[in-house]
């Protein structure tokens, strides 16, 4: 069945595949389910996340693009980040009260990547401990499914 949400997601997927994909991100629908996407964000260079491979899922509803998807990191059970809950759920304005139908899948993934980048600046007072915790998360990402 081809609904407006499914048509939009197909367009988002084609745009993500055909145009120059944004550096450091990748995403595609799961087999036979355009409403559930798997994505990867590669740890941004020159941040404590550098070298990591972070998997997440995006679940869309039939109300997309009028309503945002839900996003969740699935790489491993615990991300060390002030905007990522213990279950991997992502606390990001554009996925909640600042959502706009102009955002597509690429924009969502870019915002999540920016969330990782900005977090590295948040705790400058305790940089050594913060970086140690980041490194643990990066190393876990190498072996997690």
Q: Which residues pair with 56 in a beta bridge?
A: 39, 73
Check 10, 23, 91, 122 and give the catalytic one.
91
Count how many Cα atoms sit within 13 Å of the Cα of residue 39 in the half-sphere of its side chain.
Answer: 32
Query: Is position 1 annotated as part of the catalytic site?
Result: no
**Residues 35, 59 contacting (CB under 8 angstroms):** yes
Q: What gap in Å lies between CA 115 and CA 82, rounded to an integer?
A: 10
In whole angstroms, what is the distance from residue 85 CA to residue 137 CA?
Answer: 14
3-state SS assignment for residue 126: helix
Asked if 34 contacts 45 with a C-beta cutoff of 8 angstroms, the reply is: no
Q: What share of the chain is helix, strand, coil (3-state, %, to 5)?
A: 40, 20, 40
Instruction: Tell me which residues are annotated as active site.
Output: 91
């Amino acid at each position: 069945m081809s609904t407006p949400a499914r048509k939009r997601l197909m367009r988002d997927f084609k745009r993500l595949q055909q145009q120059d994909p944004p550096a450091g991100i990748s995403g595609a629908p799961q087999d036979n389910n355009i409403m559930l996407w798997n994505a990867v964000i590669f740890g941004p260079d020159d941040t404590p996340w550098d070298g990591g491979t972070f998997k997440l899922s995006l679940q869309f509803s039939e109300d997309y693009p009028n309503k945002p998807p839900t996003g969740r990191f699935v790489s491993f059970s615990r991300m060390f980040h002030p905007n990522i809950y213990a279950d991997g759920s992502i606390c990001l304005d554009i996925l909640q009260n600042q959502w706009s139908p102009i955002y597509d899948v690429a924009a969502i993934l870019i915002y999540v990547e920016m969330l990782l980048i900005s977090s590295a600046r948040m705790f400058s007072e305790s940089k050594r401990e913060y970086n140690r915790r980041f490194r643990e998360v990066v190393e876990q990402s190498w072996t997690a499914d």
